């Protein structure tokens, strides 16, 4: 007890300490083979080598005429036309040329091509006004990628160009890290399912649905455990159900110091609680535990505290579980466009809108920063890292921010 109030048995840890404790217990999940052409967002569990040369034969870089450079500037007789997708099947003799389209294989004997805009064709004859060097305007074998070369490293997050590259080489199966399965539980006697009649004083369960959306955005498979009342037996059953079905358990509510806050003691009963308080706002009572190889996060019940804590502590762990070598959000320096009032005793992650102004990034508050005000997250694309203090940070102050969405 301190000043008549119960004292937490958990020492306060810093944000950095909490993140280190979590990441020190994260091991990437096992690999699985999936359809390469629908693997966007997944993380490669093995390097990919080019199975063939791209291009596999010399090809025309643009529309024009394939020719022999040793013919100089003398006119050439046009003997054939080649289009993309057709085999050359033509041998270019001295004094001849072939009309050729972008991507078509170069005919035997040709060592350069003349772009169509630099050529003059009349009655089946080609006139040149510029000499060419051997190899000019020709894509050579393996120019884009040489057979056997590493084209994608292990740990690459498959995005649009990566998926296109896999398709370019005809690859239809790839090894990727498995997506984490995350079970989400809301707690509290006052929490009810959206759509049901709401008694006075009750609150609709926004946390579970917002958290599940955030977890899906992080690349996870999400399982809803519903709502558990403030009852030891029922919450214990729900936690065990989630731990059995998923790799990670995330709860909201029940982590403070009240007599009905049961999540911390339940996690201590089932596994090991590594920390139960963070010098951090919003989300001081955020809790991290392990139960065997499973990770468990107890997040606060206030909506903003729950989502900000998820962003700062849970999301990086989930990205690392799926093999992402860069699980952290980008950090940027921003200039304040609005005054910012700090917390007097803890670093605070305030919700801001970040935008480009000239060569600078500027950040403005989204309004009231109360832990219950979910509106403060609307329009926010960053979390401003506000050091504790007594004085207001004025307009123009430079601070660091996490970039949580595009500008």
Question: 5: pLDDT confidence band, cut at 50, 70 and 90?
Answer: low
| Integer Cα distance of 262 and 373 in angstroms | 24
For 363-386, the pLDDT digits (tens) are 999 887 777 787 788 889 999 999
> Parallel, antiparallel, or unpaired: how do β-strands 119-122 and 173-177 relate?
unpaired
pLDDT score of 39 more than 90: yes
Beta-carbon contacts of residue 230 (< 8 Å; ≥ 6 apart): 187, 188, 189, 254, 260, 262
Cβ pair 177, 322 in contact under 8 A: yes
pLDDT score of 79 more than 80: yes
- Tell me the CA distances in angstroms from 250 to 35, 133, 223, 296, one per residue in order: 29, 65, 10, 6
DSSP letter assigned to residue 140: P
Question: 16: pLDDT confidence band, cut at 50, 70 and 90?
Answer: very high
262: left (phi over 0), alpha (psi -120 to 50) or beta: alpha
| Integer Cα distance of 44 and 174 in angstroms | 7
- Would you state the pLDDT for residue 374? 75
Q: Once rounded to an integer, what is the mean pLDDT over residues 91-107?
A: 94
Question: 6: pLDDT confidence band, cut at 50, 70 and 90?
Answer: low
Question: 294: pLDDT confidence band, cut at 50, 70 and 90?
Answer: very high
Question: 109: pLDDT confidence band, cut at 50, 70 and 90?
Answer: very high
| Nearest residue to 277 via CA among 316, 319, 309 | 309
- Would you state the pLDDT for residue 131? 84
Average confidence score pLDDT of the chain: 94
For 242-271, the pLDDT digits (tens) are 999 999 999 999 998 777 889 999 999 999
Q: 55: cis peptide before it, omega within 30°?
A: yes
| Integer Cα distance of 168 and 253 in angstroms | 49
Q: Once rounded to an integer, what is the mean pLDDT over residues 394-404?
A: 97
Rounded to two decimals, the pTM is: 0.89
Question: 4: pLDDT confidence band, cut at 50, 70 and 90?
Answer: low
Q: Once rounded to an integer, what is the mean pLDDT over residues 187-209?
A: 93
């Amino acid at each position: 007890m301190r000043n008549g109030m119960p004292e937490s048995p958990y020492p306060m840890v810093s944000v950095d300490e909490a993140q280190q404790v979590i990441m020190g217990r994260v091991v990437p999940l096992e690999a699985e083979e999936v359809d390469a052409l629908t693997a966007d967002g997944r993380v490669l569990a093995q390097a990919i080598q080019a199975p063939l040369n791209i291009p596999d034969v010399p090809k025309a870089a643009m529309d024009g005429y394939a020719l022999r450079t040793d013919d100089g500037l003398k006119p050439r007789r046009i003997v054939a036309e080649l289009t993309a997708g057709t085999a050359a099947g033509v041998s270019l003799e001295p004094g001849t040329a072939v009309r050729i389209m972008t991507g078509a294989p170069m005919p035997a004997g040709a060592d350069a091509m003349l772009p169509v805009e630099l050529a003059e064709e009349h009655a089946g004859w080609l006139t040149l006004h510029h000499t060419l060097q051997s190899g000019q305007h020709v894509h050579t074998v393996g120019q884009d990628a040489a057979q056997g070369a590493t084209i994608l490293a292990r740990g690459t997050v498959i995005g649009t160009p990566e998926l296109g590259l896999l398709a370019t080489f005809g690859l239809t199966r790839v090894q990727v890290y498995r997506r984490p399965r995350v079970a989400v539980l809301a707690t509290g006697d006052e929490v009810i399912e959206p759509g049901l009649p709401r008694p006075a004083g009750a609150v609709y369960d926004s946390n579970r649905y917002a958290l599940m959306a955030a977890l899906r955005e992080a690349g996870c498979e999400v399982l809803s455990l519903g709502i558990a009342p403030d009852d030891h037996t029922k919450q214990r059953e729900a936690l065990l159900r989630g731990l059995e079905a998923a790799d990670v358990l995330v709860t909201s509510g029940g982590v403070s110091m009240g007599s009905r806050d049961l999540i911390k003691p339940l996690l201590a009963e089932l596994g090991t609680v590594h920390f139960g308080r963070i010098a951090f706002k919003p989300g001081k009572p955020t809790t991290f535990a392990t139960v065997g190889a499973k990770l468990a996060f107890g997040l606060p019940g206030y909506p903003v505290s729950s989502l900000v804590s998820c962003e700062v502590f849970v999301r990086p762990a989930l990205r690392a579980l799926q093999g992402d070598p860069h699980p952290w959000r980008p950090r940027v320096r921003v200039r304040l466009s609005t005054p910012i009032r700090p917390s007097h005793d803890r670093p605070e992650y305030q919700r801001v809108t970040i935008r480009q102004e000239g060569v600078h990034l500027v950040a403005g508050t989204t309004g009231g920063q109360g832990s219950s005000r979910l509106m403060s997250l609307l329009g926010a694309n960053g979390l401003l890292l506000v050091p504790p203090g007594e004085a207001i940070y004025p307009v123009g102050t430079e601070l660091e921010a996490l970039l949580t969405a595009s500008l």
